[in-house]
Copies of this chain bind each other. A is one copy, B any other.
Amino acid sequence: MKENIKKYKLLNIKLTPQRLAILDYLEGNTLHPSVEQIYKHVSRRFPSMSYATVYNVVNTLVKHKVVKELSIDPDKKRFDPDMHTHHHMVCIKCKKIMDIDIDYSLHVPEQVLEGFTLMGNHIEFYGICSDCRKKDKN
C-alpha cells in the first residue's frame, strides 16, 4: 500500500520490505494479532523473516505511535493499528478481541486522582463470544 510507504517517510525511519509487509498486514486489521500471528502471516510471502524482526518492527511502530500494544491477553502482547480512542470486548474462552467504538466519557473527580495526571482510559468488556457460546451447547 502506497499509504504505508508515506507513513514510514513521515516517521523519518528507513523503509524496508519487512517493515512494509508488517505494516501492510496490520493496516485495517481488526484481529488484534500477536507477534506470532504477524510472523506466521508475513513470513509466508517473506520466508527470510525472523521473529526478532517482527519484535523490532512492532516495537518501533509502537514507539512511533502508529500501532498500540494491548495488554488484554495476559499471555502475550497483542497489537492494534487503530490509534483512535476505542474500547474492546474480549472473549474469556477463545481470547478473541473485538472493537467497541462507543464514546463513553468517564470522569474521575479530583479528590480521587490525588495528583495523578490522567492521559486516557481503556475499557475491557469481557464475556463469551457467540462462537464459543454455540460450541458450549455441544
Q: Is the CB of A128 within 8 A of B104?
A: no
Stretch binding the partner chain, chosen from A1-9, A14-22, A115-123: A115-123
Stretch binding the partner chain, chosen from A23-31, A44-52, A71-79: A71-79
- Interface residue tally on A, bucketed by range: 35 or more
Residues of A within 8 A of B (CB): 69, 71-74, 77, 89, 91-92, 98, 100, 102, 104, 106, 108, 112-130, 133
Q: Is the CB of A123 within 8 A of B126?
A: no
Complex interface: chain B residues within 8 A of A120 (CB): 125-127
A126 touches which of B74, B115, B119 (Cβ 8 Å): B119
Q: Is the CB of A133 within 8 A of B115?
A: yes
